Amino acid sequence: MQYREVGNTGVHISEIGFGTGGNAGLMVKGSPKDQLKAIECAIELGINYFDAAPDYGSGVSETNLGKALRELGVRPIITTKVEVREANLGDIASHVERSVEASLERLGVDYVDFVQIHNGPVGTRPNLEGRDYRILWIEDFLGRNGALEGLERIRRAGKTRFVGFCCRGDDGGPVRQLIDTGQFHIMNVVYHLLNPTAAMPRPRGMDVAPDFGEVIPYGHEHGVGAALYSPLAGGLLTDNIAGGGEPHPLAAAERREQRMAQVGRASAFRFLSKGSGQSLAQAALRFNLMEPGVTTVLGGFSEAQQVEENAAASGAGPLTAEEMARVEMVWRAS
């Protein structure tokens, strides 16, 4: 396992991180035995970064993660998040404090290393409704009693060491505005073979949305690390799904139709695994790690075998010039 520094924090985390979200299902719906097996496997392979959030299973994932870590007697680097919803807009800063306190209790720790706002910044006031937390007005990040103020409070209280936010696409301007404050250390962002716009201009001929606005190199230049979520495009960039197979039984099914409609695009990259001695997932992760601004790639795991598969991509080196030439041909045709 190789390690990279998170921005300018001095904290070095594994190139492959352990995501605990509900899409892969393990930390929300898996058995305690299987959860423990996967986490123990991750620790043994050198994975030292675990990414959590209260929204993952409505707190269940955090509870399960904390229980497993205590049973194993280990304390890795942990990120958790705060979801800002319509009901929290009156005093976001206090909501941040309450949310983090609840996460710490579920995780069974006194502090976490990173806390991120799970919303992505946007330049105009969004119409948040109900449980939606996907985006948040930039003024609600930076204004009085806003998200940044709440993050500063928990840092001063020793509840976290560093803070960050998430990117949701079509948000390059507001993301840069947050980076320019100098107050953030890490961002979660999408970057993969099916949508590389977080690190490069949209390839000519490629029809893809949303546009992530090359925020990874901008963050890298300004000392902000990048943790990639959904690096395998929700499982599309795996030999199983790209080859027309069924998702893992634990994997979330709510976006199944949308995911399966994208299989044709993903299957164009299957040349990366045919006769190469690597899986499509490993090739996709090697592509991710070629970008200097990427700090860690968050695997969403359904079982321990996937942890082993992903971890093997660290230190495997970049894709070859021939492989990248073929990748670019696929982009031009998509």
Read off the tokens for 224. Answer: 């902000």
Any idea which residue has 């082993």 for tokens? 308
Residue 278: what pLDDT? 95
Which H or E run contains 166?
strand 160-166
332 burial class (0-12, 13-18, 19+ CB within 10 angstroms)?
exposed
Q: How far is CA 319 from CA 41, 269, 283, 285, 315, in A?
A: 26, 13, 7, 10, 12
Question: Please, which residues have CB within 8 angstroms of residue 324's CB and are 6 or more apart in sequence?
Answer: none
* Rounded CA separation 263/163 (Å): 35
Q: What is the DSSP letter of 330?
A: H
Per-domain boundaries in the chain: 3-333
Q: Where do runs of H (alpha helix) occur along 186-320?
A: 215-221, 239-242, 256-261, 263-267, 280-289, 304-311
* Rounded CA separation 33/24 (Å): 16
Residue 252: what pLDDT? 67
Our CA dihedral for 24, 279, 318, 303, rounded to 10 degrees, sits at 30
Residue 262: what pLDDT? 81
Low-confidence spans in the chain with pLDDT less than 70: 252-261
**Regarding beta strands 77-82 and 112-117, do their DSSP bridges make them parallel or antiparallel, or are they unpaired?**
parallel
* pLDDT tens digit sequence for 92-141: 999 999 999 999 999 999 999 999 999 999 999 999 999 999 999 999 99
Which H or E run contains 296?
strand 294-300
CA-based torsion, 303, 306, 312, 315: positive or negative: negative
**Fold of the 3-333 domain:** TIM Barrel (3.20.20)
Neighbour tally for 266: CB within 10 Å: 24
Three-state secondary-structure class, residue 116 = strand
**Regarding beta strands 294-300 and 120-122, do their DSSP bridges make them parallel or antiparallel, or are they unpaired?**
unpaired
